[in-house]
Each structure stands twice: as C-alpha cells, then as structure tokens.
Amino acid sequence: MNQHEFRVALGHPALEFVATRARRRAGPVERLVEPADLSRWLELAGIAGGAGCDRTLLVRARELREAIYRIVVAAREDHPSARADRELVNAWARRRAPSPQLDPDLRMTLIGPDPCRAALTQLARDAIELVAGRELQRIRDCADPTCSLMFIDHSPPGRRRWCSMERCGNRAKTASYRRRRRTPPRA
C-alpha cells in the first residue's frame, strides 16, 4: 500500500480535507487513492478513529471534497457557487448527526451508524460553518507557487504567507538565500 503524506494544521478541518488533493495548479496529486487512505486521514485529522471506509464512500468523499473546494473558492472570490456543489454539501450536512465520543487517549472522535459517513457529515457541516462564518476572511493561499493549499491565518497581524513554515516557507527562504549567494556583489 502506498502511504500518502497528509497535511494537517491548516487551521480548519474542511481545508485539511481539501488538502487531500495536492498540487491543484499543475499535476494534481490524489492522496485518497484507496479506502484505507480515507480511513487513515480521518484518524490522523482526529475526526474518526477506526472508520472502515469502503470504495463507494471513497468516491463520495472525493466528490464532497471537490464540492467543498469549489464552494470555498467561490465564497472567497465573492461569486455564487454552483448549485450542484451546494446541494451535495447540504445533503451531507443534513445526514444524521455524529456523536462526539472520547477515545482511550481522551481525544474526541465522532461516532455514528457508520463512522466514515458520520465523519463526512461532520466535514460538510464544518465547511458550511467556514464559508458562512468569520474565518472565511482569514483563509489564505500558500505563497509558494508550487503549493495549492489554503490555510486559516490565525496570526495576530494576519500576514502569514505559508501553509507551513517548515515546508513551503523554508523552501522559499532557502531558494532566496541560494539566489543571493550566486549573485556576485556589485563593484
């Protein structure tokens, strides 16, 4: 099984879910390839531990993820979103509510009739709250031109540039340093 790297710590579960598809601008990379990838991401994101997702739910999760992505982009650009995207997200959000529970490590997990479906329901609700709430104005695109991730800028001045300083920020600063070192000083 190919273990894909997942990005978390983007400031919101819906944006972390959207990040399961990387490099959207050029050569997209699908990180939810197998049902086990979705189950693993749900556990890593702290949304549902032990969710046994099947191939049908994997396909539906990808559809939901892409609808959330298009809705967030439309909301940020102050454009109406596609009706089909709104209907899909709203349909997931109307499903039976998952119940928060504590796992043995005292972390919250969501339990429902089907943990995978319950987690997707919660992600749809999170996306609605994001788009309709105050955090929409704090969503930023990573400044790295090769990165397509969005994140919530929780910094007090609101000037964060990178999805992750350890990844994209460090890469950009290293590249800038190397460019300066190659440029001969002016005489």
* Residue 140 amino acid letter: R
Can you tell me the distance from the alpha carbon of 83 to that of 118, in angstroms, rounded to the nearest whole number? 23
Angle in degrees, 0-180, between the axes of helices 115-132 and 83-94, rounded to the nearest 10: 130
Output the pTM of the full model. 0.83
Summarised one tens digit per residue, pLDDT across range 12-45 is 999 999 999 988 888 888 999 999 999 999 988 8
DSSP H/E element including 17: helix 13-18
Return the closest-CA partner of residue 70 out of 32, 14, 117, 27: 14
Can you tell me the distance from the alpha carbon of 187 to that of 184, in angstroms, rounded to the nearest whole number? 9
DSSP H/E element including 115: helix 115-132
Summarised one tens digit per residue, pLDDT across range 149-184 is 899 998 888 888 888 777 676 665 666 656 666 766
From residue 178, alpha-carbon distances to 107, 123, 146, 165, 181 in Å are 43, 41, 18, 18, 5
**CB 97: neighbour CB atoms within 10 A?**
13
Q: Are 20 and 32 in contact (CB under 8 A)?
A: yes
65 CB-near residues (< 8 Å, 6+ apart): 17, 18, 20, 21, 32
Predicted confidence band of residue 2 (pLDDT cuts 50, 70, 90): very low
**Residue 145 burial (10 A CB sphere; 0-12, 13-18, 19+):** exposed
pLDDT(74) > 90: yes
